[in-house]
Amino acid sequence: MKNLFISLLLASLAFASPVFAQDAASRMEVVEGAWVRSTPPNMKITAGYLSLRNNASTDHRLVAARSTVSDRVELHTHVHDMQTGMMQMRHVDHIDLPAGQTVALEPGGLHIMLMDLNTDLQPGIDVPLTLEFDDGSTLEIMAPVRRMTMGGHHQGHGQHRNH
């Protein structure tokens, strides 16, 4: 009888474990297309953009990103420098992803900075990005390379400043 009880308990845990095992990456959804800004020849930096929706019931954080086209990838934001009146890029340790909300990484705001590029990025290329979350889970995405249009706008995204 004891063995039957243990067997039933283990079986019920096996069916329940996918609920407990859901990591941040499995609850994230790219709701607006990811893209990376094209670069002129020999330019060694660019930025990546996307909108992430956290479908989990708990808050998460984007803590890092990686790509095979870049030796260094950082999370950045733009802040207004009160002394100069200019927008300045700043490195951030993480990007908060509140439960049930969408966070936009876009020109002039939060973004993924790709530095020390090992190739020129021209339209038609897809850039692999690995997004890492606070629980250690990762999400692999492909971001097409696109040109920034004149005036700093790109397909409905915000203004591009100081990049």
With 60 as the cut, is the pLDDT of residue 144 above it? yes
Q: Residue 97 sits in a domain of what CATH number?
A: 2.60.40.1890
Q: Kindly report the pTM of this predicted structure.
A: 0.76
Residue 10 lies in a domain: no
Residue 117 lies in a domain: yes
Percent with pLDDT over 90 in the chain? 63
- For the chain, the domain total comes to 1
Residue 18 lies in a domain: no
| Cβ–Cβ < 8 Å for 125, 144 | yes
* Averaged pLDDT of the chain: 82
CA 106 to the chain's CA centroid = 11
* Structure confidence by residue, pLDDT tens digits, 69-127: 999 999 999 888 888 888 888 999 999 999 999 999 999 999 999 999 999 999 999 99
Predicted local confidence at residue 153, as pLDDT: 42
Other CB atoms within 10 A of residue 130 CB: 15
